[in-house]
Copies of this chain bind each other. A is one copy, B any other.
Amino acid sequence: MRFDQLIISIRNQVNNDIREIVLPESPKYLYDPIRFTLNGSGKRFRPILVHLLGRLMNADQKSISKIAIAVELVHNFTLIHDDIMDNDEMRHGQLTVHSKWDKSTAILAGDGIFAMAQILLCSIEIQTKFICQFFNQTTLEVCEGQALDKEFENDVKIRENEYLTMVEKKTGALLGACAALPAILMNRTSKMVSKLSEFGRAVGKGFQLHDDLLEIYGDPKEMGKSLGSDIKEGKQTYMVIKARKNFPEKWDQIIKKEPTHNGLDKFRDFFHTSGIKKETEDLAKRQFNLARDAIKSIEFKNKKELFMFIDLIENRKF
């Protein structure tokens, strides 16, 4: 099977598995927003990565599916809560839960999805203890990443390495777990678990740097949201940190003068001509190459699919 067909087929399976989750009818206050969230159209990169690793290790398909869905559930739970904290109204081209309903509904929907993820993980027959432990340490780290992200908002003293630490926790940790959990399931060496985690974490950092680029240079239709809003909200992206550090006066001007709609074009011009766009692309490339190095150092028989997964993430346009 060609790799792109493989990805489509895994994504279909993930979507099927999610559709097959049986949700009670009542209480509607809890399960309607959960149903709405699970029917959304995520790209499912995280569960896809879990399945790719499962294939490589010939792991039990049923257990791998459970890990894949649990990871996607936790991802969705954090998105719902993050969207409240960040006042984001749109996600994947549809209203966020707190916009469609309200904050209370969204808080509880997130909590419920988190509990559902745990129930699913606990139903795995082998290595349950170690899987749950790694999974929840990861979730706590994701919370730490979101906390740093909130701390950094409007803090103009943040430096590049602090930003990368935040990104590693907020985005890298969960992708690291996607790669590591199948190895934990298969009771592989702790060295392999740690190398796989390293690979996923690097992919996550590259992914987030690309996200920052897409926030400015993406296609608003494909992104399913308005662009540049994070920067206007005071988010510290890598590009903003670079701009403030290397072009403080120019950046001050751009930020102060452009609360309006065509601010996006000014952002695009500035990041391009200042070289910050190129620098961010280079840093993202370095992360993806670190991910490749981690894979090279693991003794796997067939690693081709993991390299192709990195290419897939590196080349995404939305």
Contacts and interface: CB of A to CB of B under 8 A. Distances in A.
A113 B248 CA distance: 39
Contact of A115 (B105, B121, B136, B147): B136
A108 interface: yes
Nearest to A74: B115
Interface in A4-50: 24, 27-31
B137 A119 contact: yes
Contacts of A116: 140
B27 A112 contact: no
A246 interface: no
A111 interface: yes
A140 B110 CA distance: 11
A316 to B, nearest CB: 28
Nearest to A86: B104
A116 B133 CA distance: 10
A135 to B, nearest CB: 8
A111 B132 CA distance: 16
Contacts of A151: 27-29
A31 B85 CA distance: 17
Given A27-B144, A128-B128, A85 B107 contact: yes
Contacts of A115: 136, 139-140, 143
Nearest to A124: B129
Nearest to A145: B27
A240 interface: no
- Among A27, A81, A148, A151, the one with the most B-chain Cβ atoms within 10 Å of its Cβ is A27
A107 B81 contact: yes
B85 A104 contact: yes
A297 to B, nearest CB: 29
B103 A81 contact: no
Nearest to A129: B128
A236 interface: no
A302 interface: no
A266 B123 CA distance: 53
A132 B128 contact: yes
Contacts of A104: 84-85, 150
A46 B132 CA distance: 24
Interface in A75-97: 77-78, 81, 84-85
Nearest to A112: B143
21 contacts: A27-B144, A27-B147, A27-B151, A30-B143, A30-B144, A77-B111, A81-B107, A84-B107, A85-B107, A108-B146, A108-B147, A108-B150, A110-B111, A111-B111, A112-B143, A114-B114, A118-B132, A118-B139, A122-B129, A122-B132, A128-B132
